[in-house]
Structure 1
Amino acid sequence: MSSAITTFEEFRDAVAGYRLPRVLLAALELDLFTTVGDRTWTIPALAHEMKVSERGLAILCRNVAMAGLLRKKGDRYSNSRLGATMLNARHPAYRGGYLDLIKSHWTDWIRLPESVKSGLPIDHDTADDPDWRRRFTWAMHHRTLDKAPAIAAQVDLHGAASLLDLGGGPGTYARAFLAKNPKLHATVCDREAALEVAREIAAGDPAGRRLSYLPLDFAKDPVPGTYDVIWYSNVLHIYSPADNQAIFRRALAALNPGGRLIIQDALLHDREGLFPADASLFAVSMLLFTEGGDTYSARETARWLKAAGFRLVRSLTIKGKTADWEDGLLEARAPGPRPEKPARRSRPRESSRRR
């Protein structure tokens, strides 16, 4: 949304924005892109293959083609490049984990009034399921596959010997930093179910030999070891202000003198805390899925960092099309001199504690 809604027609158009997303989700739910594959189809042949009506499929395919995800020539349809690869379950580039998460969000968002009334996530009475955690971790890997190398190429870690990916899930960012910095060692800290996925992903990666794993409830427990850099990416929004401030204090205690905490998140930047729009809308997801999460302004996050004892808080600039979030990186330094030589890394043992 690029401008304020001031007329009924603009309101109508904004509400009607659900139409194309629902068409695309229906295409995913019906395995349209996987069925089309690398072939060219008429509607009757494709409808027979998919076991759906010709009328319904003709209207669906017309709209998917209008969106550019199918190609239409005469009465025949074929996949676009994106449809044939990342949306096609038979292709190695398939992003199924993240696509499954997107599909589930449609029904989750329908339940928004429940969370607005209660202030609680929609499934607040359901215990964290390791199988769900694994699926979510794969989704986060698929979400960041392209972003992580682009961001790692722009965040200067020269001179750093050790990095902690705090709440790092699949370790996608940690491995991207390792690939960019051959002398770096990294540790991914998260729930054990998430770390199982991280180990699977890193198994075929030569940089994985420089990667360690730390199961830890860092929202409650001290972080063992010391590091030159702590990467805190897409975790800030999961926790309440009080929880994040406590995590910042634990992070500071785990940094070498002059070390850096780098935060990547959906940060708000205007005075009233409304924009960017994606950051504001992402707070709705936090209402639906977390006990106390939200999206926060860069200004208040910097204030929390300084209160925790950090110094020299500043924004980091990432090229717009490669950024995970618009103007979404903050860096804060621990007190003390910046190490001229890489500090010796203290590698924690894997513990049995879980977050």
Structure 2
Amino acid sequence: MTNPPADDFREIMGLIQSFRPAKILMVATDLLMFDHLEEFRTADEIAAEVKADSRAVGIILNGLAALQLVDKEGERFRNGRLVSRYLVRGKDEYRGAIVRHMHHTWWGWADLEETVRRGHADMARSERWVDRVNADEDWVREFIWGMHAIARDLAPRVAAMVDLSGVKSLLDLGGGPATYAIAFAQANPAIQATVFDLPQPITIARENIRRNGLAKRVNTMAGNFLKDDIGSGYDFIWISQILHSHTEEQCRLIIDKAVKALNPGGQMVIQDFFLNDDRVSPLEAAMFSVHMLAVTPGGRAYTHREVAAMMESAGLNPPEHKITSPQTSILIGRKK
């Protein structure tokens, strides 16, 4: 006779089953279901809109209703508040790009066991971002606009936390959609900013800069920051969410190159999902480190002390560590 499952085993089962809501939401987003659910519609109607099987769409819609992401009346469905606000294309607060990007990385988690065995993600599929000069345009747009979806709320708060007084020349290194460069320029009218990134992200940065009316004050420079010149004479260099996708050797190279580009007395500020010394907190940083294992050749989350040591070794004064959100923090160092 076997004993019934212990209540605490349900915690393990909860973790094991937690992929299901995520996958349902990502599939619905990829199929653009929410675009067609601003009014009550039947599963048959939505299936016709997204060119999918009616029975399968009905099951997905019921799953979304069970998750309280869509409302259900009889056999009709309509967007709930959150998906209506964030996952309908064309709305000001649309964030579907980051959902789609996360879905694009699903392969890495499916392959995680093999990655652990060999020590790195599949080199043919991994997110070797600086090598993606000719990457699929749709993939790039989802990734870069996804980064904007994450950063757009945080950037103005970070701009208020850093010292931009006296800053005239600013570099946003690996700046993607230029979200932070725009926030810094808006916070200090004296700033002339440059966004440095690969050619395809730079195209999106220019779109975002124009949307914000800052084309005269925020410039762009296309290149590979591991190989190419990044300019010089900067008062302030911002490096956000770059280090985690690179090896320790590459991180040192990036930091050394940026310090050389700083004016004496200039500031370097690095933001990332920094781990504490225990390497298990914050939780999001620990989980993100596994994500980097799953999808990059050699990336991981670094502790803030590790990166602070790299900054000091490159010629900065001992950096100050500040929390910018429950998941992220910054290191602020000034060139000697």
TM-score of the pair, normalised by structure 2? 0.86
**Count of aligned pairs between the two proteins:** 323
CA distance in 2, matches of 1:51, 1:211: 42
RCO (CA 8 Å, sep 6+): is it higher in 1 or 2?
Answer: 1
Q: Name the structure 1 match of 2:110.
A: 110
Q: Does 1:240 align with 2:241?
A: no
- Aligned-pair distance for 1:175? 0.7
CA distance in 1, matches of 2:19, 2:142: 26
Q: Deviations over 1:37-90 (max 9, x none)?
A: x21234555456556666544443333233332123455432123322431235
8 A Cα contact 1:315 1:327, kept in partner: no
8 A Cα contact 2:237 2:268, kept in partner: yes
What is the identity, as a one-letter code, of the residue corresponding to 2:120? L
- Aligned-pair distance for 1:262? 0.5
Q: Deviations over 1:111-158 (max 9, x none)?
A: 112322222332437862332444422332233222222322333312
Q: Does 1:251 align with 2:258?
A: yes
Q: Deviations over 1:285-336 (max 9, x none)?
A: 2223323211101111111211222103111243xxxx2x53511111111x
Q: Name the structure 1 match of 2:148.
A: 141
Q: Name the structure 2 match of 1:119.
A: 119
TM-score of the pair, normalised by structure 1? 0.82
Q: Name the structure 2 match of 1:162.
A: 169
Are the structure 2 counterparts of residues 210 and 18 from structure 1 closer, same or farther at C-alpha, using a change threshold of 3 Å? same
CA distance in 2, matches of 1:56, 1:108: 25
CA distance in 1, matches of 2:115, 2:30: 26
Structure 1 counterpart SS, 2:10: helix
Q: Name the structure 1 match of 2:68.
A: 68
User: Which is further off, 282-291 or 42-51?
Assistant: 42-51
CA distance in 2, matches of 1:184, 1:69: 42
Q: Name the structure 2 match of 1:293.
A: 299
What is the identity, as a one-letter code, of the residue corresponding to 1:272? D
8 A Cα contact 2:26 2:100, kept in partner: no
8 A Cα contact 1:167 1:235, kept in partner: yes
8 A Cα contact 1:123 1:289, kept in partner: no
CA distance in 2, matches of 1:250, 1:219: 9
- Aligned-pair distance for 1:159? 2.0
- Aligned-pair distance for 1:221? 4.3
Segments of 5+ residues of structure 1 without an aligned counterpart are 1-5, 336-355
Q: Does 1:272 align with 2:278?
A: yes
Q: Deviations over 1:213-249 (max 9, x none)?
A: 1223322345322111110100011221122122222
Query: Out of 164, 187, 199, which is 2:206 matched to?
Result: 199
Q: CA RMSD in A?
A: 2.6
Which 4+ residue blocks in structure 1 deviate beyond 6 angstroms?
Answer: none
User: Which is further off, 84-93 or 243-252?
Assistant: 84-93
**Identity across the alignment (%):** 34
Are the structure 2 counterparts of residues 57 and 220 from structure 1 closer, same or farther at C-alpha, using a change threshold of 3 Å? closer
CA distance in 2, matches of 1:122, 1:30: 27
Query: Out of 284, 300, 305, which is 2:311 matched to?
Result: 305
8 A Cα contact 2:122 2:297, kept in partner: no
Query: Out of 214, 219, 223, which is 1:216 matched to?
Result: 223
Q: Name the structure 2 match of 1:345.
A: none
Are the structure 2 counterparts of residues 112 and 39 from structure 1 closer, same or farther at C-alpha, using a change threshold of 3 Å? same
Structure 2 counterpart SS, 1:272: coil
CA distance in 1, matches of 2:50, 2:256: 55
Are the structure 2 counterparts of residues 250 and 54 from structure 1 closer, same or farther at C-alpha, using a change threshold of 3 Å? closer
Q: Name the structure 2 match of 1:316.
A: 322
Segments of 5+ residues of structure 2 without an aligned counterpart are 1-6
Q: Name the structure 1 match of 2:4.
A: none
- Aligned-pair distance for 1:20? 1.3
Query: Out of 271, 284, 290, which is 2:290 matched to?
Result: 284
Structure 2 counterpart SS, 1:124: coil
Query: Out of 182, 195, 199, which is 2:189 matched to?
Result: 182
8 A Cα contact 1:98 1:143, kept in partner: yes
Q: Does 1:153 align with 2:160?
A: yes
Q: Name the structure 2 match of 1:83.
A: 83
Structure 2 counterpart SS, 1:207: coil
CA distance in 2, matches of 1:49, 1:296: 45
CA distance in 1, matches of 2:240, 2:185: 16
What is the identity, as a one-letter code, of the residue corresponding to 1:245? R
CA distance in 2, matches of 1:212, 1:30: 36
Are the structure 2 counterparts of residues 272 and 171 from structure 1 closer, same or farther at C-alpha, using a change threshold of 3 Å? same
8 A Cα contact 2:273 2:288, kept in partner: yes
Q: Name the structure 2 match of 1:28.
A: 29
